[in-house]
Chains A and B, each alone.
Chain A
Amino acid sequence: MALLATKRLLTKGEIFSSVAGYSGAMDSMERMFERDKDDLRSLGIEIEVAPLDSLFEDELGYRITPDSYALKIPEISPSELGVLSIAAKSWRTSLFSESAQKALVKVASLGIEPDIESLHTSIIPIDENCADFELLWKATFECRELTFEYLDSSDTRRIHPYGISLFKGEWFLVGFDILKKEIRTFKVKRIRALEMSGKKDSFARPADFDMRSSLILTKSESRFKVVLKVRSHKALAIRSGSTIVKIDEDWDRIEKIYSYRGEALTEILWHSPDVCVEEPKELQERIIAIWESRAKSGAPGGK
């Protein structure tokens, strides 16, 4: 409070003599002062440190300017605060839930009554969790190298992180794999032993880097068309929203567009033997090969 109240820089001596809590030997007061500065900085409070006299840099002064301390937000309306209150409930768990709630409390202290009723809007919390977000974000934002282990491998990955994405409630990291020399996408929950290394700005993100086009999973626009033979009244999930043509009493033909090949293969196998692939032939051959292998596999480990 003293540093925030002062209009001029305070010396360490002035702080020790006027602020409650500083007492004892000079060494211990120095240690306490350093700890307090770290604590204030960890709260996001900026402490201005400058020489008291520009000609003599041996004595430093300290203060917190009201500008750097206080929340300054362009005028915010009751409806906007209403939207902010609803958006703060977007997260069910994790760092974001806590951070959004803290932001809401601060903005709600500006003397504005939120108008939520008239918005007629609600939010369904998304199922996210990313314990390491703060580290990922810092490394990505500050262009610092990350190292981690991925999946079952104990090989250490060295990555220049380019971007972070929340897609269908899952977190993904996109970055340049230094050893593999290509851009890779990683599911964050499969990352272990994550550490940040290297200095700030230790690499440059390519100017033409585009998050959206780097994410394979978000390329839902890449469509995968299949033609299926489906047993009558079966495979209800596949029928939903598809074009159905009757072949005979027992079978229908269905054309369906999937986001990607893997999605199609999983759903078709799930509904076997009530669904057969007609097109594309490559997918049909793959599925027949899978079933042939499984039909032969009798003993443990055998094929």
Chain B
Amino acid sequence: MASNAVDRTARALDLIPYIVDRPGISVEELAQAFRTTAAEISETLNIVFMCGLPGYTPLELVDLNTDGGEVSIIDPQNLGKPRRLSQIEIISIILGIENLKSQGLSGPVSIIANSLISKMTALLDDIRALQILESSKNVEPSVWREPIEKAIREKNVLEIDYAGISNDEMIVRKISPIRLYAQNGQLYVEAISQDSGEFRNFRLDRISKLADIGKTSTPDIRLDQGAAADIEVQVLIPKKDVLFLEKYQNIIESSEVIGDMRKVHFRVSQTNWLRRALASIDGDVVVLHPDSFAREFRTLAQISLNAYKMS
């Protein structure tokens, strides 16, 4: 990505002490550390070449050497020390450490983390910055995290008992875990299903049993992500239920407000989970299209009422 002159100056000021500390580092390694391209680094190094103190004789310029793709700085002039951290940088680190703590740390590491928080907090211009920020419950801890991380490292296959939420049934799956991630406070594992070869995501709190079964042959990976989304569904839901829209925004084709209701147009591959998702809304829900799904939804309402009458 192209950057402006200020960005390049900032990068030049940060590159100089970083290179001083790592003589002989490659342009590619610098690009990785600074999360940019080798071309951007080379362009910034061209600026560094021309930096120096007034007088601008060779003795007053930053002494930069880029022989054979290895970068060294012999004399950084007065730019050998890293710049002070900005307030946002300090806050990013403090919140990052808080997140790390919330994910569970051993005693000794927790002590190190607290000591680092104190040191970073001391760098803030105003301690009130932390009083207006709050970070909590960003990841629910899970007993499955450690065995899954181990299986990812060792490229092992896991067999899991999983409570499927759409069909409400326990399924047994063999999966090759790829990565763990957090979303809306919950931990998920992205994995390749050994049975279908498809990528699947599993919420850790819905796994009831997990066993590492070592290495097995890798299935052929299917990238088509299952059936095509060719069922069109139109519904009316309460306008105030913004949470529903946010949660399912990826499959919503369009929506418009009509009085107190909102008309939402979906395109899905199957309606099983959508029936449940619509059922879980607090308020009126009317299925407009297709007729078969509208009938199915009304039937669900009737048998749900019958269940109460039988109680």
Contacts and interface: CB of A to CB of B under 8 A. Distances in A.
A232 B290 CA distance: 32
Interface residues of B, number: 112
B193 to A, nearest CB: 19
B308 A215 contact: no
A213 B185 CA distance: 19
Interface in B119-178: 119-120, 122-123, 126, 128-129, 131-139, 145, 149, 163-165, 168-170
Contact of B288 (A84, A205, A300): A300
Contacts of B279: 269-270, 272
Nearest to A76: B119
A95 interface: yes
A126 B138 contact: yes
A154 B303 CA distance: 41
A262 B288 CA distance: 26
Contacts of B33: 105, 108
Interface stretch (A26-34, A51-59, A192-200, A286-294): A286-294
A266 interface: yes
A235 B291 CA distance: 27
Contacts of B84: 44, 68-72
A77 B121 CA distance: 16
Contacts of A82: 112
Nearest to A288: B308
A121 B83 CA distance: 28
B280 A269 contact: yes
A101 B131 CA distance: 24
Contact of A220 (B21, B95, B137, B164): B137
B292 interface: no
A161 B132 CA distance: 9
B208 A240 contact: yes
A109 B14 contact: yes
A125 B145 CA distance: 14
A87 B21 contact: no
A45 B83 contact: yes
A107 B99 contact: no
A90 interface: yes
Interface in B262-296: 276-277, 279-286, 288
B116 A84 contact: yes
A108 B100 contact: no
B227 interface: no
B119 to A, nearest CB: 5
Nearest to B115: A80
B14 A103 contact: no
A155 B138 CA distance: 31
A294 B95 contact: no
Q: For this complex, into which size category does the number of interface residues on chain A fall?
A: 35 or more
A127 B137 contact: no
A271 B300 CA distance: 11
Interface in B231-287: 236, 239, 242, 246, 257-258, 261, 276-277, 279-286
Given A120-B106, A151-B242, A168-B185, A91 B96 contact: yes
A189 interface: yes
B297 interface: yes
Contacts of A126: 99, 138-139, 182
B168 A211 contact: no
B211 interface: no
Contacts of B214: none
B113 interface: yes
A124 B13 contact: no
Interface of A: 1-2, 4-5, 18-20, 39, 42-45, 66, 68-74, 76-77, 79-80, 82-84, 86-92, 95-111, 119-128, 133-134, 137, 140-141, 151-152, 161-170, 189-190, 205, 211-212, 215, 218, 220, 229, 234-237, 240, 262, 265-267, 269-274, 276, 278, 284, 286, 288, 290-295, 297-298, 300-303
27 contacts: A43-B83, A68-B84, A69-B83, A69-B84, A70-B83, A73-B123, A74-B122, A76-B116, A79-B112, A88-B92, A91-B92, A101-B35, A106-B17, A106-B82, A109-B82, A167-B136, A169-B183, A236-B163, A237-B168, A265-B282, A266-B280, A269-B279, A273-B304, A274-B168, A276-B307, A293-B284, A297-B286
Shortest Cβ-Cβ A-B pairs, 5 listed: A168-B185, A87-B96, A90-B96, A18-B54, A103-B89
